[in-house]
Amino acid sequence: MTPEERAFQARIDAGEKIEPKEWMPEGYRKTLIRQIGQHAHSEIVGQLPEGNWITRAPTLQRKQILLAKVQDEAGHGLYLYSAAETLGVSRDALTEKLLSGQMKYSSIFNYPTLTWADMGAVGWLVDGAAIMNQVPLQRTSFGPYSRAMIRICKEESFHQRQGYAIMMKMARGTPEQREMAQDALNRFWFPSLMMFGPSDKDSVHSAQSMAWKIKMNTNDELRQKFVDETVPQAEYLGLTVPDETIRWNEERGHYDFAEPDWDEFFEVLKGNGPCNRERIEARQKAWDYGAWFRDGLTAYAEKSAARRAAAQTAAE
Amino acid sequence: MTPEERAFQARIDAGEKIEPKEWMPEGYRKTLIRQIGQHAHSEIVGQLPEGNWITRAPTLQRKQILLAKVQDEAGHGLYLYSAAETLGVSRDALTEKLLSGQMKYSSIFNYPTLTWADMGAVGWLVDGAAIMNQVPLQRTSFGPYSRAMIRICKEESFHQRQGYAIMMKMARGTPEQREMAQDALNRFWFPSLMMFGPSDKDSVHSAQSMAWKIKMNTNDELRQKFVDETVPQAEYLGLTVPDETIRWNEERGHYDFAEPDWDEFFEVLKGNGPCNRERIEARQKAWDYGAWFRDGLTAYAEKSAARRAAAQTAAE
Amino acid sequence: GAAAFEWLCRLGDATLILGHRLSEWCGKGPALEEDIALANVSLDLIGHTEMWLALAGEVEEKGRSADHLAYLRDAMKFRNPLLVELPNRDMALTTMRQFLFDAWHFEMLSALVDSRSPRVAEIAAKALKEVSYHIERSQDLVIRLGDGTEESRARMQDALERLWPYTGELFAADAVDAAIAAAGIGPAADSLKAPWEALVTETLAEATLTRPETKQDAQTGGKTGRHTEHLGFLLAEMQFLQRTYPGAEW
Amino acid sequence: GAAAFEWLCRLGDATLILGHRLSEWCGKGPALEEDIALANVSLDLIGHTEMWLALAGEVEEKGRSADHLAYLRDAMKFRNPLLVELPNRDMALTTMRQFLFDAWHFEMLSALVDSRSPRVAEIAAKALKEVSYHIERSQDLVIRLGDGTEESRARMQDALERLWPYTGELFAADAVDAAIAAAGIGPAADSLKAPWEALVTETLAEATLTRPETKQDAQTGGKTGRHTEHLGFLLAEMQFLQRTYPGAEW
């Protein structure tokens, strides 16, 4: 470590926040850009599976709640792109990288939403898993990221409660609703466990991120925490987690559970998930179809500025 | 009249058919091209209002019947374009004229189909009115047109019966179905009367067409015939024709009835009907989106012909 | 009674269907800020729907809730103007429609704040706060896109031409409107025309767009239940769950 | 019993959903002759649906008719392979899908003609006559469009790449297929693979198209009720009248 690096690490160890204009190692900057960018993309792509049910929401109230939720996700995307921008990379540049496949988003959004119960499962499980990841990140070392996470976490836990409320209605509703609820849990359980990533006990990469407080916990810690919180919630709903091996391990003080199918995880990551192509094509289409709109606003802004300048010159 | 024209008229008066390669007055050819072309276009555009309900047909049987009907209409379009082609104008040329607005199609197809009962009303009233026009045209003087009309009339009367059968189900169904049936009759009654065109008693144009046996009856004759046949059918359904003035006129041996709103007729003709823009845009889109497909087939046909020619040359 | 029910459905259905159309943009908009703003307007409109249709249900006295009215009527029973049910097409049409509607909506609510019906006045007051923001936003967007690039101007002009024949219906008065006006519940429908015209004319001028020469009332019927072919498809999607699982709670 | 019901639904749902997708082209096709031919294939497939689902209803012994099964099941209960529910996109995808499906359909029906179930054999014999024409037509079109212009070739190749990951599901066997094969009612699902491969390989070569390198079974689930996001929208539209007016006759 250079003296600069040492000083930097000391600040982090002391719990200080790093601000955008301060010195930071190139690796720290790069890792942050990748992580914040991916997180931002996940918020944006994550609008699609839930957006899929907005036009079919079953009541006016549910429609509003879902719409507000998806709107929040767009807002989270904004906060995060702004945080990334402080590191010198523009939203447009990040978007191009998403669309070209150079940057990823959370693989969970490559699974389809097939029934209304999925609006419950996504809120309960997917937002639940996201919160597990995000809560510790409120204490991350990079100031803008930490502040973005604080705002986001407040809203996410609200979303999770709303998702659970939908599951409750479904699980205690008609036999068909109950069947949809169980089916949603069956489909989203393992993909949710995958959200924490493969076991990282041997990853050097992860160790560096943890030293920098960009990553606060290991993937396995967070996954265990998620399982421990979620299994009793499923029981309360009267639903069965689709893992026959689940049982409480008195000794460990944790639930034992089966690993997800990591082959499937890597297949989806490679682009072969059920909806990878559709998700990116949807965003590509939005981007392409919106070009004239963005250009129009830019042109107007430039004209207005020129007019103001001309008026000022004339006045002087 | 020139001697040629006199001889031509004499043949027509004698009930002879005129065939494409035989001499005919320029006006006869032009009028026929316009009339057959419009009729062909009407078949093609006429697919759209009914096509609108194919994906929502309420039973497998109804879906098949409707699909077969719309398919028949495409077939009628084919016959008629072929008849027009014998007069030296290609299907593509006629299509371009339809899309550019130089040629018209029956204004009735600019009205929307809003409920399933409209599938009944269109068959019963619109096909019914069409048949009134078409049956006498089986005896028209131009051979290919006459033969096309004979084939078409056979199928149209079948369509009309199917339409009436749908109306029967609706009119004798639930209160909601009955309401839809009445509403469909309300909406399609006057537009159906308009299908015969404005009163033509003073039109020189019409007189010439009748002399040439391109037009076989006056518009008013056909309209009266339609009303006389349709009013008892409506009564049998237990539906009310939306014209308070309708009553049997013993003296005339016909029903008296109110004229449709000819201002509306001319508005729709000018392009201001409820669906004019959508209908033409739908056909334009089909035409534009289908260009690569038609070009592909043409390119293959040319390649194949060239290959065959090359093979033949090699063999010789 | 009957007139009030019809009239409240006209209001509630207009906000419902437009709110629904806007919600179709979710995740597909041209820029994040716009996506969020669109969702916001959609949310507001669906909120208004709840209030108007709930009141309609009360007035009708047949025990129908706002959800019942929204999810269990077929197209013939909907009373929204045709303008709001047209497909979104692109953001030009969506934006222009929003402006033309907001301009009417703002005038309508401004008048309803003084309704002789306290319930109507109360709902209008709540809604007006939000709609004041809607009209400000859509007017601003129309100006910016009209006076933007050549393409954005052309698209906005095309949208305007397409929508113009549907604007007259907003001001068309019939017996229902007359009864409501006579009872002092709402304004005469055509009394909103002059202020609407003033705002639209001024805005189009600033947007460098040309006011169409075509008739404004060529396309009507929605307010009495004669819709376009589009509404049926919208409802098939919107009402699917309620229709498929009757009586379930969500 | 249960396996036969499932298996018959797989057949009937496949023809229903594909027939429905084809019917969406109505009035929008690229050339009159094609429009007519497409409608014809659609009609045939819906005709097959009536027979398969009617038999499924009989086998199930719960009194459900073909219409009941078609119009009153939600997506989770549908058993069609994912391939047939994908949106039409363009005529390239529609045509390529038709060929890939017809090639399977032809082999399946050819095998079912010898079913130990006389009812199945009878339906298969009727359907096979029509499907012999379907495969001839779609194969011919794939060749002509593949070996047509540069654009038609590129579109056909793109369609092929998009569809390829969905073709494996046609041959995937599970307990249902095993039970049916064991009972001599139908062929082992994977026994159709070799002749299908032969026909597809030969046709693609003649069409100057490249066989994709990607996995054929990346996208599965339809046959056990796990569908794409598209099926729900298709059903919302298709089932609207039956759902909205329960018990009405049409």
The verdict on a CB contact (< 8 Å) between B74 and D36 is yes
Q: Distance (Å, rounded) from C-alpha A64 to C-alpha A56?
A: 12
Determine which of D65, D241, D244 to mutate to test the interface with B (most B C-beta atoms within 10 Å).
D241
The sign of the dihedral angle between the CA atoms of C144, C146, C150, C154 is positive
The model's pLDDT over A90-99, given as tens digits with 9 standing for 90+, comes to 999 999 999 9
Nearest to C147 among A91, A169, A303 (CB): A303
Q: Dihedrals φ, ψ of A306, to 5°?
A: -60, -40
Q: What tokens were used for D229?
A: 């996001």
- β-strand B247-249 against B254-256: which pairing, if any? antiparallel
Contacts of D75 in chain A (CB under 8 A): 114-115
Q: Distance (Å, rounded) from C-alpha C53 to C-alpha C10?
A: 9
The model's pLDDT over B191-241, given as tens digits with 9 standing for 90+, comes to 999 999 999 776 767 889 999 999 999 999 999 999 999 999 999 999 999
Mean pLDDT to the nearest integer, A136-145 = 97
Q: Which residue of C has its CA nearest to D233?
A: C237
Q: What tokens were used for C43?
A: 């949310």
Residues in chain A: 316
Q: Distance (Å, rounded) from C-alpha A9 to C-alpha A5?
A: 6
Name the residue among B309, B294, B301 with its Cα closest to residue D147: B301
Q: Is the pLDDT of residue A204 over 80?
A: no
- Residue C240 CA: distances (Å) to CA of A65, A222, A274: 18, 38, 24
For residue B255, list its beta bridge partners.
B248
The model's pLDDT over D178-236, given as tens digits with 9 standing for 90+, comes to 999 999 999 999 999 999 999 999 999 999 999 999 999 999 999 999 999 999 999 99
The verdict on a CB contact (< 8 Å) between D34 and B285 is no
Name the residue among D19, D144, D20, D134 with its Cα closest to residue B293: D144
Name the residue among A116, A112, A261, A101 with its Cα closest to residue A177: A116
The sign of the dihedral angle between the CA atoms of A220, A221, A224, A225 is negative
Residue pair A150/A138 in contact by the 8 Å Cβ criterion: yes
Name the residue among A49, A277, A52, C89 with its Cα closest to residue D93: A277
Percent of chain B with pLDDT over 70: 99
The model's pLDDT over D89-118, given as tens digits with 9 standing for 90+, comes to 999 999 999 999 999 999 999 999 999 999
Q: Distance (Å, rounded) from C-alpha B275 to C-alpha B106?
A: 12
Q: Distance (Å, rounded) from C-alpha B54 to C-alpha B116?
A: 10
Q: Distance (Å, rounded) from C-alpha A282 to C-alpha D234?
A: 19
Angle at D79 between CA D78 and CA D83, to 5 degrees: 105
The verdict on a CB contact (< 8 Å) between D39 and B303 is no
Percent of chain A with pLDDT over 90: 94
Q: Which residue of C has its CA nearest to A92?
A: C31
Mean pLDDT to the nearest integer, A68-72 = 96
The model's pLDDT over B213-224, given as tens digits with 9 standing for 90+, comes to 999 999 999 999
Give me chain D's average pLDDT, please.
Answer: 97
Q: Count Cβ atoms within 10 A of the Cβ of residue B186 and give its class: 0-12 exposed, 13-18 middle, 19 or more buried.
A: middle
Name all chains with 3 or more CB-CB pairs below 8 Å to chain D: A, B, C
Flag whether residue C74 sits within 8 Å of chain D, measured between CB atoms: yes
The verdict on a CB contact (< 8 Å) between B112 and C229 is yes
Q: Is the pLDDT of residue B22 over 70?
A: yes
Q: Distance (Å, rounded) from C-alpha C46 to C-alpha A57?
A: 12
For residue B254, list its beta bridge partners.
B249
Contacts of D13 in chain B (CB under 8 A): none
C-alpha neighbours within 13 Å on the C-beta side of residue A242: 14
Q: Distance (Å, rounded) from C-alpha D203 to C-alpha C189?
A: 66
Q: Distance (Å, rounded) from C-alpha C41 to C-alpha C98?
A: 10
Nearest to C236 among D74, D237, D246 (CB): D237
Cα torsion through A232, A233, A236, A238, rounded to 10: -100
For residue B142, list its beta bridge partners.
B18
Centroid of chain to Cα B272 = 20
Q: Distance (Å, rounded) from C-alpha C129 to C-alpha C126?
A: 6
Q: Dihedrals φ, ψ of C119, to 5°?
A: -65, -45
Per-residue pLDDT at D200: 98
Residue pair D231/D17 in contact by the 8 Å Cβ criterion: yes
Nearest to D237 among C74, C233, C244 (CB): C233
Contacts of B51 in chain D (CB under 8 A): 26-28
Q: Distance (Å, rounded) from C-alpha D139 to C-alpha D95?
A: 9
Centroid of chain to Cα B82 = 15
Q: Count Cβ atoms within 10 A of the Cβ of residue A313 and give its class: 0-12 exposed, 13-18 middle, 19 or more buried.
A: exposed
Q: Distance (Å, rounded) from C-alpha C226 to C-alpha B130?
A: 25
Q: What tokens were used for A272?
A: 């072969």
Q: Is the pLDDT of residue A315 over 90?
A: no
| Residue B90: count of CB within 10 angstroms of its CB | 11
Contacts of C74 in chain D (CB under 8 A): 244
The verdict on a CB contact (< 8 Å) between B71 and D71 is no
Per-residue pLDDT at C95: 98
| Residue D202: count of CB within 10 angstroms of its CB | 11
Size of interface B-C (CB pairs under 8 A): 34
Name the residue among B131, B134, B154, B155 with its Cα closest to residue B145: B134
The verdict on a CB contact (< 8 Å) between B114 and C227 is yes
Q: Distance (Å, rounded) from C-alpha B198 to C-alpha D106?
A: 54
The residues, any chain, with a CB within 8 Å of residue A56's CB and separated by 6 or more, are A116, C237, C238, C240, C241, D232, D236
- Residue B282 CA: distances (Å) to CA of A95, B35, B79, B285, D173: 34, 23, 22, 5, 42
Cα torsion through C54, C56, C61, C65, rounded to 10: -30
pLDDT band for position A316 (cuts 50, 70, 90)? confident
Contacts of C232 in chain D (CB under 8 A): 240
Name the residue among C201, C194, C187, C225 with its Cα closest to residue C142: C201
For chain C, which residues lie within 8 Å of any Cβ of chain B, measuring from their own Cβ? 74-76, 162, 165, 214-215, 218-219, 221, 226-229, 232, 236
Q: Which helix (H) or strand (E) holds D43?
A: helix D32-60
Nearest to D27 among B47, B116, B298 (CB): B47
The sign of the dihedral angle between the CA atoms of B215, B217, B221, B224 is negative
Q: Distance (Å, rounded) from C-alpha C192 to C-alpha C177?
A: 12
Q: Is the pLDDT of residue A217 over 70?
A: yes
Residue pair B94/B81 in contact by the 8 Å Cβ criterion: yes
pLDDT band for position B85 (cuts 50, 70, 90)? very high
Q: Distance (Å, rounded) from C-alpha A29 to C-alpha A12?
A: 14
The residues, any chain, with a CB within 8 Å of residue B282's CB and separated by 6 or more, are B48, D27, D28
Distance from CA of D231 to the nearest CA of C (A): 12
User: Which amino acid, residue B80?
Assistant: L
Per-residue pLDDT at A314: 86
Residue pair B111/B188 in contact by the 8 Å Cβ criterion: yes
Mean pLDDT to the nearest integer, A267-287 = 96
pLDDT band for position C208 (cuts 50, 70, 90)? very high
Mean pLDDT to the nearest integer, D43-49 = 98
Return the exposure string of D85-124: e unless at least 16 CB atoms fall within 10 Å of the residue's CB, then b.
bbeeebbbbbbbbbbbbbbbbbbbbbbbeebebeebeebb
Name all chains with 3 or more CB-CB pairs below 8 Å to chain B: C, D
Give me chain B's average pLDDT, please.
Answer: 96
Q: Is the pLDDT of residue B316 over 80?
A: no
Q: Distance (Å, rounded) from C-alpha A69 to C-alpha B139?
A: 68
Distance from CA of A269 to the nearest CA of D (A): 13
The sign of the dihedral angle between the CA atoms of B113, B117, B119, B121 is negative
Q: Is the pLDDT of residue B1 over 90?
A: no
Reduce the DSSP state of residue A248 to 3 states and report it. Answer: strand
The model's pLDDT over D111-144, given as tens digits with 9 standing for 90+, comes to 999 999 999 999 999 999 999 999 999 999 999 9
The sign of the dihedral angle between the CA atoms of D138, D139, D141, D142 is positive
Residues 131-190 of chain C with CB under 8 A from chain D are: none
Please tell me whether the interface predicted TM-score (ipTM) of this complex is above 0.90: yes
The residues, any chain, with a CB within 8 Å of residue D202's CB and separated by 6 or more, are none
Name the residue among A49, A99, A102 with its Cα closest to residue A281: A99
For residue A256, list its beta bridge partners.
A247
Name all chains with 3 or more CB-CB pairs below 8 Å to chain A: C, D
The model's pLDDT over C59-115, given as tens digits with 9 standing for 90+, comes to 999 999 999 999 999 999 999 999 999 999 999 999 999 999 999 999 999 999 999
Q: How much is the pTM?
A: 0.97
Contacts of D74 in chain A (CB under 8 A): 115, 176
Per-residue pLDDT at A202: 64
Q: Which residue of D has its CA nearest to A264?
A: D218
DSSP string of B229-267, one letter each residue? HHHHHHHHHT---S-TT-EEETTTTEEE-PPP-HHHHHH
Q: Is the pLDDT of residue B131 over 70?
A: yes
Residue pair A62/A300 in contact by the 8 Å Cβ criterion: no
Mean pLDDT to the nearest integer, A230-257 = 98
The model's pLDDT over B161-173, given as tens digits with 9 standing for 90+, comes to 999 999 999 999 9
Per-residue pLDDT at A101: 96
Give me chain A's average pLDDT, please.
Answer: 96
Per-residue pLDDT at B202: 65
Name the residue among A56, A71, A33 with its Cα closest to residue A155: A71
- β-strand A247-249 against B247-249: which pairing, if any? unpaired
- The answer to whether B and D touch (≥3 CB pairs < 8 Å) is yes
Q: Is the pLDDT of residue A198 over 70?
A: yes
Distance from CA of D16 to the nearest CA of C (A): 19
